[in-house]
Structure 1
Amino acid sequence: MEHITLSKATAADWQTIRDLARATFFETFAAGNTEADMAEYLEETFNDTKVQSELQVADSQFYIAWDDKTPVGYLKVNTGPAQTALQDADSLEIERIYVKSSHHGKKVGQVLYEKALEVARHQQKKYIWLGVWEENPRAIRFYEKNGFVAFDKHIFKVGTDEQIDIMMRKELE
């Protein structure tokens, strides 16, 4: 963990974000989805054009976690109209925290989460929210450990499969 650093992603980092996004999403969810659904989701969500476009959104920020010079995870946070569901001016959405499986258990996710918390506090948000797949107990435990509580559910599509995400939030002091 002593070598983990964060950098704020810029438009020039699109390939790094794309590669991290594709690799970490696949590692995290391939076992629970069909090959066809995974392929469709990865192509629709993490294609070159879409990733480049997401990096241009003023109300979104990306951060890359580095182990020395190797990218090992990333964070995407949204405010205002960039939020995927609530779009509450008082909130910050953690849309994505993903870490390569090689770095699970090494506190990379915690470092990324703490960056999200820092961004939310700097912007004087009242709470942070996110959606997490109901069949991802590791992530649910992580967020509960960090003070999040479930408040609703919504549909998240992976390919043609409609899945249930638990919506969680954490009030900020």
Structure 2
Amino acid sequence: MTDPLAAPMPARVRPPVPALLLGYAGLLPPIIGIAWRLIDPAKGGAANALALFYAALILSFLGGMWWGAAAARVSGAALTLWLGVAVVPSLVALAAGAVLFTSVVSGAAIVAAGLLGSLLVDMALVRAGHVPPWWMRLRIPLSVGLAALTLLAGLLAQP
């Protein structure tokens, strides 16, 4: 029996429906936080702050996905490199969290930059064959969307 993961797949393969639904549902927390802030500025501040926190969590989550993808398919020195890359998003999210206490806009910008920068690693994972060919068709709109929402939430957090 052949390995279905080893079979070549067309580059235009659509992401599975559950990945699409759950991926786009992941944009709801910042959308809700921003909407709440706009509708009720006095009480929506906490929801907006949660939108920023959520974006940092997702950035860290991306590193976990990279770790899993590499651990499943790579060994030796290449595995060490991929695992090292995989911890970077958590460190960026931590740094952004520390900055958020002094400058919400700067912290949001760090998280947004991390989300956009993550696309470079995602592209490398696709090229190396460590993730499915549909990966970027999902990752690009989700990362760009969450980065934009994060910047908006940061701007709305200003007094």
**TM-score of the two chains, using structure 1 as the length reference:** 0.32
> Where is the helix percentage greater, Structure 1 or Structure 2?
2
Structure with more strand by fraction:
1
